[in-house]
Amino acid sequence: MSDELYGKTALVTGAASGIGLAASELFADQGATVIVADINLAIAQEVASNIVANGGQSKALYVDVGDPVSVASLFSQIRRQCSPLDAAFNNAGISDSQCSWIDFPLEQWQRMVDINLNGVFYCLREELQLMNEQQAVDGLLGQIVNTSSGAGLIPAPGQPHYTAAKHAVLGLTRSAAQDFSHKGIRVNSILPGLTETPMIESQPQSMLDTFAKMSPTGRLGQPIDIARVAVWLCSPAAQWVNGQAIVADGGGLMH
């Protein structure tokens, strides 16, 4: 265990499962106090308890990132109980089945945009405001990472809503990085390739095998592969990395 983030506080959304769970554990391994935030509070509490049982520091909080009132409530609790906030990983997201463009159900479009795009914006603006009020340490106020996707660069077939939301996360990231870097807040995004989490469990095995074969590594990503990049982006070692879209897919998107 390295203690690079010792004494820091990190927020992870979508922290009860998959990539967010792996990132929460890794932030804790590196010495950070982790705010495990998720719409599934019961599982988030288990994640936080496991971190504490392993000698780390953690607290679980409820959030529905698609609801601005819920996000405001999360940040008022963070202000009262956990600030200063040094790092935030805006990672909560959903997937969806393929849809036909022609009779695309509007409620499906709206739900995706609410969670995968608006959810990042609601969290990001609270984080920027909170970090901006804090005292700088070594010229830095905070580091933020947003989860996009390979679908933020290359469209996912039959998924205009997921593709559009994940492309837009890159724009939000660059916009925030441009407007806040002079204050000492770094904002980057991470674009995972297909990663073995509960999100992809319902995908046909034949499709997963095809994706694994397309990768030069011959395998799909694991949550820890993505967590390592997210935690690194929040570490002092990445202090000159800002406004970037980091693809983490073992090289699959080279082709």
Q: Which residue's CB is nearer to ligand NAD, number 217 or number 239?
A: 217
Interface with ligand NAD (CB under 6 A), residue from 58, 91, 118, 163: 91
For the window 117-136, what string marks contact with ligand NAD as x by the rule CB under 6 A?
--x-----------------
**Amino acid found at 34:** V
Residue 88 within binding range of ligand NAD, rule CB under 6 A: no
Residue 26 within binding range of ligand NAD, rule CB under 6 A: no
**CA-to-CA distance for 144 and 185, rounded, in angstroms?**
8
Return the residue matching tokens 């998959």: 18
Q: How many alpha carbons fall within 13 Å on the CB side of residue 36? A: 32
DSSP state, residue 19: H
Residue 200 within binding range of ligand NAD, rule CB under 6 A: yes
Residue 64 within binding range of ligand NAD, rule CB under 6 A: yes
Residue 173 within binding range of ligand NAD, rule CB under 6 A: no
SS3 217: coil
Minimum distance, C-beta of residue 212 to ligand NAD, in the bound complex (Å) = 12
- 137-to-69, 120, 142, 182, 185 alpha-carbon distances in Å: 30, 25, 9, 14, 11
Q: Considering only the stretches 58-66, 104-112, 134-142, 171-179, report the one whose residues sit in contact with ligand NAD under the rule CB under 6 A.
A: 58-66
Residues with a catalytic annotation lie at: 162
Q: Considering only the stretches 78-86, 121-129, 187-195, 238-246, report the one whose residues sit in contact with ligand NAD under the rule CB under 6 A.
A: 187-195
Yes or no: say if 76 and 131 are a contact pair by the CB < 8 Å rule: no
**CA-to-CA distance for 207 and 22, rounded, in angstroms?**
24
Residue 56 within binding range of ligand NAD, rule CB under 6 A: no
SS3 167: helix
**CA-to-CA distance for 154 and 166, rounded, in angstroms?**
10
Minimum distance, C-beta of residue 76 to ligand NAD, in the bound complex (Å) = 17
Residue 142 within binding range of ligand NAD, rule CB under 6 A: no
Q: Which residue's CB is nearer to ligand NAD, number 1 or number 207?
A: 207
Residue 192 within binding range of ligand NAD, rule CB under 6 A: yes
Helices 18-29 + 223-233 axis angle, to 10: 50
Q: With CB under 6 A as the rule, give the number of residues binding ligand NAD.
A: 30
- 156-to-95, 129, 159, 212 alpha-carbon distances in Å: 11, 33, 5, 16
Minimum distance, C-beta of residue 91 to ligand NAD, in the bound complex (Å) = 5
Q: Can you point out the beta strands (E) in the chain?
A: 9-13, 33-38, 57-62, 87-90, 142-147, 185-192, 245-248
Residue 184 within binding range of ligand NAD, rule CB under 6 A: no
Site residues (vs ligand NAD, CB under 6 A): 13-14, 16-20, 38-40, 63-66, 91-94, 115, 119, 147, 149-150, 192, 194-195, 197-200
